[in-house]
Chains A and B, each alone.
Chain A
Amino acid sequence: MYSRSYKAAVTIPPVLWVTAFLLVPYALLLCYSFWSVTPAKEIVHSWNLKNYLDLFRNSMYPTVLFRSMRIAGAVTLLALVLGYPLAYYLSFHAGGRKELLYQLAIIPLWASYLVRGYAWKTILGTDGVLNGFLQYAHITRYPVEFFLYSPFAVVLTLTHIYTPFTFLPIYASLEHVPRNLIEASHDLGAPPAKTFLRVILPLSLPGVLAGATFAFVLSLGDFLAPLLVGGSSGIMISNIVVTLFGAAYDWPKGAAISLCILLIVVGILFITERVEKRFSFR
């Protein structure tokens, strides 16, 4: 149907792109993860498993990894708790204000990540807006320090950043729930709460799953929020990778950790895709 040259013209660029920017880097990463580095910071091309074994021997890595997963889990939960009701309200009850509210809900996406990070710094800091208010209202006498530079601050910032990512797919799936199914449920005697649990929620699960995946995977790999507001107790696994590739100059170990994270993420995507298939009906 299409000429050979046309086929080549549309196929070659993406193939080249994927090869140059995905396959080759991953292959390099894989190689690096089996190499080692001398105390003089020279990379030695001798194949060994030391980097991977170190990940288990040094308890710091699993600790930070599990903390990252806990933070990502908390962010996911909060983003769903915030995003679902918002999406529900917009889809079913916003009426004429739907468009406006939709735009307002996704506006944070247009603001720079760094701006939002620094905004939380200004709010949560010891001389920040929140502490200023608490002291002004005589609720606290001294600045509360754990607001900033803590896992709490990281969760708060990431939730703010990734809630639109959960809101969008949930909103899309709610918009696709046929309205006559809701009428049918009422017609068959199910009051609104029962209708929500038995019809609307199950039919919006694909969106919930997609949103949860976004929030979890994106927060798990995040390194800017912990850098800006996390402090030493809020360090996440990506910060370690950044340090290993940068200041510490241990590319092989950095590569090994990166591949572990990649494996976890691919595993999550694989599982959610399976579950999503199970819950999609169109």
Chain B
Amino acid sequence: MLASDVLVAQNVGFAIIAAIMVIGALRVVTTKNVVHAALWLVVVLAGAAAQYVLLAAEFVAITQIMVYIGAVMVLFLFGTMLTRARIGAEQDLNNKNGIIGLPIAVLLLATMLIALNDGFKSEKLPVDAPVVTTQQVSDQIFGPYLLPFWALSFVLLAAAIGAIVLARRD
């Protein structure tokens, strides 16, 4: 479906979404308001979902929106509300590690960019790849990856029980 003539549009779309995501991510880690951070995170996650669509991963994109934006974000907002008396800007969200954190992040980023640039230089993604269907994904999950799926089910079960045990009042 993806023809070479629409690649420009895709690239433009990627750039716009990527810029929004980076800005959103930066706001998440810099804003002074917890609720704002959560809302900026929504922007990043939605952008990620859009990128998944660009990467021909529809099912994952839908899952991303439903699970992350639908469920996880609600959890975050609840968590914020249950742990803060008021919603608004606060001064005390960062600790004194900024002086360590920035160099580490920059160093890590530089390293990764160098490595990526060196490793994949200008390798192109296939332009005519078919969209991965839900059926293919489910065949994978319930075929060769069944055992991890089971393990994951137990992880979720344990997490659910653990969350209840931790959070209940007694």
A and B bound? no
Seen from chain B, the residues whose Cβ lies within 8 Å of a Cβ on chain A are none
